[in-house]
């Protein structure tokens, strides 16, 4: 029977952000990482294709190698990994209940870092009607079946969504010998970066059906077809397939944050944090895609490294800092972090992160406080739906700590 214990830092979640945090902290204090999967590494462990590690590890890696590199880094630094175990609830301000093969026990900590990541919304959450046959998967389920269990999945697939992860699903389907007959997106074109769209359409020959939705799945035992509806005309087309993969449309794994009573942002549905990634609960921090669905694995890992300074500050001195609230104006759906301390440390990579529902090719971003523009910049990259929009945090340099909420907005 496992015994209750206390550690300096408890990291909940063993994906890239949690492992990067543990690898940076473990040399100076006792760090325990609790991961519900049988092996830490997060989503990249299931994604056996290249494209990982450029920002954080300075080289391109395949997903499993990237996941293993961060797992090894955390272990080499002295962190303890408790794999195949799950944090099931809070028993105190910084104490949790853990269920593991050895039994249930409690872990108390001086600081808790939540790194629980995101999940894709399945068919039921997207309210796609029709029959209930086999062959309907999320990207995570698909990758688990193909890369970890080496199962066959079908012969002809329709991918719902056009985000970066959607092309990851296409690659996994290809490895399993399954052809992607259509990628369906509500936007004019696939939302992933142009480089991935061009490569995907040229090399993988995937037809992208834009301004459209999958409105029905047909098939009594196995998927037989889907019905695709054009958003502009209402015309419906039946596409024959035996597999449907729902991709993207992320939601944070925020159950622990909610049960702890943390302030959640209504746009991200993750914890609201300041630039140092502190939540409103003293000694509780949040990192990675739990905060803003969903960014790339390497950016999530950089979040894990960024939070280390604030965790050490808390362990040394205690106290909390929040700052001025930041809000987003449509077409921006959300902005993260949600608080900024004027004159304080900038957010990770000196970027605010946001999400837009409208394409703006050469956006001007403005920060307003009490109706007055206090910062403005033009970015040379577009604000595009389906991927994180990065805003230089310098637009907040002139925010006044004694005044009201800051609103971030887009101008063409």
Domain interval for residue 357: 327-411
Q: Helices 297-306 and 308-317, interaxial angle, to 10°?
A: 20
Please check whether residues 202 and 153 belong to one and the same domain: yes
pLDDT at 96 over 70: yes
Please check whether residues 126 and 240 belong to one and the same domain: yes
Please check whether residues 212 and 260 belong to one and the same domain: no
Q: Which of 190, 214, 248 is the last residue of a domain?
A: 248
pLDDT: which is higher, 188 or 27 = 27
CATH number for position 90: 3.50.50.60
Please check whether residues 104 and 39 belong to one and the same domain: yes
For the stretch 225-256, pLDDT in tens is 999 999 999 999 999 999 999 998 999 999 99
The share of the chain scoring above pLDDT 90, in percent, equals 84
Please check whether residues 156 and 241 belong to one and the same domain: yes
What is the CB neighbour count within 10 angstroms for residue 326?
Answer: 26
Q: Which of 248, 272, 297 is the last residue of a domain?
A: 248
- Report the C-alpha gap between 116 and 138 in whole angstroms: 18
- Report the C-alpha gap between 76 and 337 in whole angstroms: 31
For the stretch 341-360, pLDDT in tens is 998 889 999 999 999 999 89
The share of the chain scoring above pLDDT 70, in percent, equals 96
- Report the C-alpha gap between 248 and 289 in whole angstroms: 13
With bands split at pLDDT 50, 70 and 90, how would you rate the model's confidence at 51? confident
The answer to whether the beta carbons of residues 131 and 221 sit under 8 Å apart is: no
Please check whether residues 93 and 136 belong to one and the same domain: no
Q: Which of 322, 339, 370 is the last residue of a domain?
A: 322
Please check whether residues 206 and 291 belong to one and the same domain: no
- Report the C-alpha gap between 293 and 248 in whole angstroms: 9
Burial of 168 (0-12, 13-18, 19+ CB in 10 A): buried
For the stretch 356-382, pLDDT in tens is 999 899 999 999 999 999 999 999 999
What pLDDT was estimated at residue 203? 57
Please check whether residues 195 and 166 belong to one and the same domain: yes
Please check whether residues 9 and 64 belong to one and the same domain: yes
Domain total in the chain: 3
Average pLDDT for 183-192: 80
């Amino acid at each position: 029977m496992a015994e209750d214990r206390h550690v300096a830092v408890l990291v909940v979640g063993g994906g890239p952000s949690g492992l990067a945090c543990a690898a940076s902290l473990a040399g100076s204090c006792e760090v325990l990482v609790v991961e519900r999967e049988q092996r830490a590494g997060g989503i990249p462990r299931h994604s056996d294709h290249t494209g990982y590690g450029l920002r954080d590890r300075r080289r391109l890696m395949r997903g499993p190698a990237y996941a293993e590199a961060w797992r090894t880094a955390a272990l080499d630094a002295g962190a303890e990994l408790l794999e195949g175990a799950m944090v099931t609830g809070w028993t105190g301000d910084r104490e949790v209940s853990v269920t593991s093969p050895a039994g249930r026990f409690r872990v108390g900590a001086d600081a808790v870092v939540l790194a629980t990541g995101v999940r894709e919304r399945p068919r039921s959450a997207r309210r796609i009607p029709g029959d209930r046959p086999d062959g309907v998967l999320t990207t995570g389920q698909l990758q688990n079946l193909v890369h970890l269990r080496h199962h066959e999945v079908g012969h002809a697939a329709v991918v719902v969504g056009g985000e970066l992860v959607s092309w990851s699903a296409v690659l996994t389907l290809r490895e399993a010998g399954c052809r992607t007959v259509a990628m369906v997106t509500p936007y004019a074109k696939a939302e992933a970066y142009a480089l991935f769209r061009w490569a995907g359409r040229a090399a993988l020959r995937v037809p992208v059906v834009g301004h459209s939705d999958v409105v029905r799945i047909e098939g009594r035992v196995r998927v037989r077809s889907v019905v695709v509806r054009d958003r502009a005309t209402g015309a419906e087309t039946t596409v024959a397939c035996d597999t449907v993969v729902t991709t993207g449309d992320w939601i944070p794994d925020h159950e622990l944050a909610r049960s702890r009573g943390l302030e959640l942002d209504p746009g991200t549905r993750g914890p609201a944090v300041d630039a140092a990634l502190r939540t409103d609960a003293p000694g509780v921090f949040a990192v990675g895609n739990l905060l803003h669905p969903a960014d790339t694995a390497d950016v999530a890992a950089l979040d894990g490294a960024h939070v280390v300074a604030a965790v050490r500050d808390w362990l040394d001195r205690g106290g909390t800092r929040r700052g001025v609230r930041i809000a987003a104006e449509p077409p921006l759906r959300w902005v993260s972090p949600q608080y900024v301390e004027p004159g304080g440390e900038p957010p990770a990579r000196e970027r605010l992160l946001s999400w837009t529902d409208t394409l703006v090719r050469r956006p001007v971003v403005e920060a307003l406080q009490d109706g007055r523009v206090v910062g403005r910049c033009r970015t040379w990259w577009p604000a595009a739906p389906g991927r994180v929009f990065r805003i230089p945090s310098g637009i907040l340099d002139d925010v006044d700590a004694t005044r009201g909420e800051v609103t971030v907005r887009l101008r063409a």
